[in-house]
Amino acid sequence: MTGRDQIIAALSGVVTPGCILTDSGDMQRYLTDWRRQFHGKAACVVRPSSTGEVADILRCCAEMNVAVVPHGGNTGLAGGAIPDDSAGQVVISLERMNRIRALDATALLIEAEAGVILQTAQEAARAAGRKLPVSIASEGSATIGGIVATNAGGLNVLRYGMTRDLVLGLEVVLADGTIVNGMRKLRKNNAGQDWKQLFIGTEGSLGLVTAAVLRLVPKPRHRAVAMVSVESVDQAVSLLDMALTSVGETLTAFELLSASALAHVKRHFGKEAPIRQGNWFLLIEAASSLSGLDRAFEDLMTTAFEQALATDGVVAASEAQANALWALREHITEAESRAGYSMKHDVSLPLRSIASFIEEFGMALDAIDPHAAPNVFGHLGDGNLHVNVILSDTAKAQVIMQTVHDLVATRGGSISAEHGLGQYRLDEWMRLTPRAERELVGLLKRTLDPRAILNPGKAVPGNE
Ligand code: 2HG
Ligand code: ZN
């Protein structure tokens, strides 16, 4: 193994001074995730400011056989950006590559470097009368490189798709330092392989994303937001069906919140839902550039009450009220982390099996650990649930995780809908994924990263 001093000396020869952090205090914030659940050590942290510099770093690390760990806004929930504890890996933070290279409002696209903060890109789009439709609670810190590398989902997937659906072009640096410039701005491009897909959602394990061209959409001028209580998840699914029929393609978010998730928000942030408690709450948003949305939305609410699908509800009468309703949803993760040690399960399921899954999960959890507290919420509109569990004692954590994932697997679901495998779910992916699929993934990894230096231990297993 190459020693730390040797790594630092070699990198100092290829990057500009000031680009390398070696002091343990300076490195600290790159070595643990924001929830402090994953901790690592690094030989050093490098902060390149150009694609050429990223390429030089990779070429140098490849020659030494030293692993690199790309690091974005550090908002991940699966430990994908945290190095191992060998102190032999190099963290590459792309935070200095933070230029918006171009924005074309007519062609509906933005060209941004990996370190651009998502919110900065959203604001640039908004200023041009357009919208970058990736909406996640961590958008104030998450970066373009990070959302591409993890294929971020979020609140508006129902209407606009995952990050993958918005990527038109990519610039990547391969394991040997080769720069591949695929910053195409085309909506239609069937000229052979769509190779950029290999780098979206693979957490830097096949190559490093240094810039992306993302699709924008026209900014809707009107939005309608409501919160309703429902008694059961089946009723919530019926209401989703009704909303798809009545407000149609304008439906932008359809979020499920358990009463306990909102109770944590109340306890830790003093924020309370303005409606009577049901077992479940729904936060529904529709948006359109055409007028008439309010009327259609009111009709939806009226029908929901007439058909006894909703037990109480409120339609936001102002932007401030709409934002206050959304604040309840956006504080859930933070409230959960204040409530104690929590395990994340980020699952997606066929819509019709969600109610039975939640019921069986509740019974199974009770049987394993009666003190464990479920914290369930998620993006019902696209079948993604966060089935988190707050634990006072972690002895049963692994059994709980395997039980949840088994319940998901038997229903044809996925053990990671949007957060990725990172280092957190890799063993579970190995356990539950058929051999042929694992071998295909291994083949791609060995082909693109023969020395296994790209974010090892994350997203894809090492050589099987
Ligand atoms: C969300 O939906 C995020 O708010 C975080 O995906 C979910 O905290 C979580 O588990
Ligand atoms: Zn989510």
pLDDT digits 0-9 by tens, 249-265 = 999 999 999 999 999 99
Evaluate whether 196 touches 211 at the Cβ level (below 8 Å): no
Answer whether residue 277 shows pLDDT above 80. no
Task: Report the DSSP beta bridge partners of residue 92.
Answer: 46, 70
Evaluate whether 420 touches 151 at the Cβ level (below 8 Å): yes
Distance (Å) from CA 436 to ligand 1 centroid: 31
Burial-class residue 276 by CB neighbours within 10 Å (0-12, 13-18, 19+).
exposed
Contacts of 130 by beta carbon, 8 Å cutoff, 6+ apart: 105, 108, 216, 217, 218, 219
Probe target for ligand 1 pocket from 254, 346, 384, 390, with the most ligand atoms within 8 Å of CB: 346
Q: What are phi and psi for residue 204, nearest 5 degrees?
A: 70, 15
Distance (Å) from CA 8 to ligand 2 centroid: 38
Q: Which residues line ligand 1 (CB under 6 A)?
A: 137, 333, 344, 386, 388
Answer whether residue 462 shows pLDDT above 80. no
Distance (Å) from CA 181 to ligand 2 centroid: 31
Evaluate whether 259 touches 248 at the Cβ level (below 8 Å): no
pTM: 0.97
Distance (Å) from CA 400 to ligand 1 centroid: 19
Distance of CA 23 to the CA centre of its chain: 30
pLDDT one-digit tens code per residue, 48-73: 999 999 999 999 999 999 999 999 99
* Six token digits for residue 205: 């394990």
Distance (Å) from CA 129 to ligand 2 centroid: 26
From the alpha carbon of 333, which atom of ligand 1 is closest?
8
From the alpha carbon of 137, which atom of ligand 1 is closest?
4
SS3 30: helix
Taking CB atoms within 8 Å and a gap of at least 24, the contacts of 325-328 are: 325/225, 325/226, 325/227, 325/274, 325/283, 326/225, 326/283, 327/271, 328/227, 328/257, 328/262, 328/265, 328/271, 328/272, 328/273, 328/283
Confidence of residue 276 (pLDDT cuts 50, 70, 90): confident
